[in-house]
Amino acid sequence: MKALVRALALLAIGGAAHADEGMWTVDNFPTRAVKEKYGVDISQAWLDKVRLATTRISGCTGSFISPDGLMLTNHHCSWACVSQLSTPENDLWEKGFLARTRAEERRCPTQQVEVLVGMEDVTPKINAVTRGLDDTAANTATKQELTRLEQACEEASKKDKKTGELACEAVELYQGGQHFIYRYQRHEDARLVFAPEQPIAGFGGDPDNFQFPRWCLDMSVLRVYTKDGKPLRTPNFLRVNFDGPQENQPVFVSGHPGSTERLLTVEELKTLRNSFLPFWLQRNSELRGRYIQFAKGGEEQNRITQDSLISVENSIKVRRKELDALLDDRLMAAKAQEEQELRAAVNADPSLRAIAGTAWDDMAKAQAAYRDMLVAHTMIENNGAFNSVLYTHARNIVRGTAEREKPNTERLREYTDAALPPVVQRLKAKTPVYPDLERLKFSYSTERMREWLGPDDELVRKVLGAESPDSLAAKLVNGSKLADPEVRTRLWEGGSAAVAASDDPMIVLARSVDPAARAIRKRYEDEVEAPTRNASERIARARFRIRGTSTYPDATFTLRLNYGSVQGWTEKGEPVQPFTQLGRLFERATGQDPFRVPQTWIAARPQLDLTTRYNLSTNSDITGGNSGSPLIDARGDLVGLMFDGNIHSIAGSYWFDTQLNRAVAVHPAIIQEALTKVYKADALYAEISGAKK
């Protein structure tokens, strides 16, 4: 899985735990079950250390592996950094990167690194402000209270000498059954230390993605620096055990699973199955084709397209298997039965019926409204019609400046004080913009806007006028100056007056689209989000009352810990072994992408031990967002680096299949072999292997 995949901002409730299933919050980890099943004692100290050694980075997870802020994650979690630091002359994607000294470490322009340092349950506070309100008012009140709580939390941290300034973020768990404020230590200076060549990191490319057996060195190493430009000193790091784990050994994964929808109502699943997924797949499959054909235009076209292409291919594979899962009658029948049982239990108890008796009907109505507006909402408010880096900047500038001038609690949630730092970082960062690729994406997406909204739609006519998608894209991309971070910064800092005065064509477009976008967003919030939230909360409360709280919430890109063991599975009657070895990599190599082994490896081959373990599989319950997560043994050592799941793991969005769902990790032995024999990264290897607790 490549980076976080959030299917939809839908709410979810926690499900019943089966063997080794579960994405547990760290304050509710089932230590007793682990003790019973594996005979392993997990202490609070162990839990705290693992939590503080785990980092959240854009759409992924990482972990500290030295006391000097060295952070291990996947190669595919550092793509933005690797791409942004690449040029036609120095293509880090193709050539890889190794800083032999700290001075050579290169700052990633838009990387943020967060460590969870505290959690506060604010459910009672939310309940207090929403009591007695109708759906729409409750929805608004909830958001305003969460903004207020985040702000209060951040202000308090500034005054707290012990913690120093923290980032605070509201977290909704158990489908609104719980609300938390999570406190993060946030670092904005992360530097690239090591990245192998992409062809070895992503060996097998899209054909092998979500497959196992597998041979990917999907790793990169960054170092986190403090504000004063020094490597972060931390006692909370994981020692790397290069021997790796044995089959059936108990293992743990700490990380940030992005999104699951295991306990959505049937109506919400039908929205995904009938509307969201087919619509998404059709559009993005076309985009894939456009990227592929564009990339054939030459070496430079190929270079600048790679990360966009691989990302969209990864998402296509995810969505495709999600759709397959939802089209599987067994799954839908199981979901329907589960729901029927819950509804029967609710209806049998007058106090529960008072809470949730009508919730499913309300949900059905809200979801029907959503399906009706999904195309327009996706296209206009979610930028489906304007797939473009420059437009995204323009929209952030137009909206963000307007929102910033409102009181914090009145703003759209993505522009509150707590949410702004990454927005501003991206606006101000010097990152490459490729006009050819921008035109491709913009033309593609406005053409699809015209297709799906229709050529006679009011907004379509306003945007396109007498232009074709191509001619409009050329005018806007060629005419806009927003590729320049200084131009963006001036507009941002100039506020709404500067934005109103701008004649940059992307700003002009974003200004002219904004009223329609806000209108469809408002309709979405009132007719879909508010009643969905309300119905979900009522169902969650009923479920808590009936089934207790010894369950885990759906994934929300917040810290979770799970337990399991190293194991393969049985595929159509044939056993799949849990370890692969280096030798097979060379056997599968063809010399052609994506089965191309870099020259460094071919040169080093005589020195390599071909029996070195390469990738491994476990039954860990993970999903997108867990990429880069440490695989940890009972002692708390790192024994693997999660980077994928098998093909069956994708259905994990909706249910956990204990027979088939497997996670996939890089084995530490291949990391050792690579660092010492292929890349001769002596200093880096010494720092990792010498790291003492």
A 10 A CB-CB count for 572 gives: 4
* DSSP of 108-135: -TT--EEEEEEEEE-HHHHHHHHTT--H
Q: Which residue's CB is nearer to a second copy, number 470 or number 526?
A: 470
The CA distances from residue 479 to 389, 429, 430, 474, in Å, are: 14, 21, 19, 8
- Using CA atoms, how far apart are residues 139 and 491, in angstroms rounded to an integer? 32
**Would you count residue 602 as binding a second copy (CB under 8 A)?**
no
* One of 68, 338, 467, 526 touching a second copy (CB under 8 A): 467
- Using CA atoms, how far apart are residues 179 and 255, in angstroms rounded to an integer? 20
Alpha-carbon torsion angle 545, 51, 189, 683, nearest 10: -150
A 10 A CB-CB count for 335 gives: 21
**Would you count residue 281 as binding a second copy (CB under 8 A)?**
yes
Least separation in angstroms between residue 308's CB and a second copy is 13
**Would you count residue 323 as binding a second copy (CB under 8 A)?**
yes
Least separation in angstroms between residue 292's CB and a second copy is 6
Alpha-carbon torsion angle 121, 123, 128, 131, nearest 10: 180
Q: Report the half-sphere exposure of 132 (CA within 13 A, side-chain side).
A: 2
Least separation in angstroms between residue 534's CB and a second copy is 24
Q: Which part of the chain contacts a second copy (CB under 8 A), choosing from 94-102, 174-182, 462-470, 475-483?
A: 462-470
**Would you count residue 273 as binding a second copy (CB under 8 A)?**
yes
Cα-to-chain-centroid distance, residue 480? 30
* One of 470, 514, 525, 657 touching a second copy (CB under 8 A): 470
Asked if 480 and 425 touch (Cβ cutoff 8 Å), the reply is no
The DSSP bridge partners found for residue 663 are 618, 645
Least separation in angstroms between residue 84's CB and a second copy is 25
Token pair of 338, please?
Answer: 């589960």
**Would you count residue 285 as binding a second copy (CB under 8 A)?**
yes
**Would you count residue 296 as binding a second copy (CB under 8 A)?**
yes
Q: Which residue's CB is nearer to a second copy, number 396 or number 617?
A: 617
Helix (H) or strand (E) holding 319: helix 299-327
Asked if 261 and 12 touch (Cβ cutoff 8 Å), the reply is yes
**Would you count residue 298 as binding a second copy (CB under 8 A)?**
no
**Would you count residue 164 as binding a second copy (CB under 8 A)?**
no
Provide the residue count of the chain.
Answer: 693
Q: Which residue's CB is nearer to a second copy, number 271 or number 551?
A: 271
Question: Site residues for a second copy, window 23-82 (CB under 8 A)?
Answer: none
Q: Which residue's CB is nearer to a second copy, number 114 or number 206?
A: 206
Task: Report the amino acid identity of residue 618.
Answer: T
Question: Site residues for a second copy, window 430-459 (CB under 8 A)?
Answer: 440, 444, 450-451, 454-456
The DSSP bridge partners found for residue 561 are 24, 254
Least separation in angstroms between residue 229's CB and a second copy is 44
In sequence order, the 6+-apart residues with CB closer than 8 A to the CB of 487 are: 481, 504
**Number of residues near a second copy (by CB under 8 A):** 50
Q: Which residue's CB is nearer to a second copy, number 28 or number 302?
A: 302
Q: Which residue's CB is nearer to a second copy, number 208 or number 537?
A: 208
Least separation in angstroms between residue 414's CB and a second copy is 30
Q: Which residue's CB is nearer to a second copy, number 13 or number 366?
A: 366
**Would you count residue 320 as binding a second copy (CB under 8 A)?**
yes
**Would you count residue 301 as binding a second copy (CB under 8 A)?**
no
**Would you count residue 94 as binding a second copy (CB under 8 A)?**
no
DSSP letter assigned to residue 15:
B
Binding site for a second copy (CB under 8 A): 204, 206-208, 211, 270, 273-274, 278, 281-283, 285-294, 296, 316, 320, 323-324, 327-329, 440, 444, 450-451, 454-456, 464-468, 470-471, 588, 590-593, 595
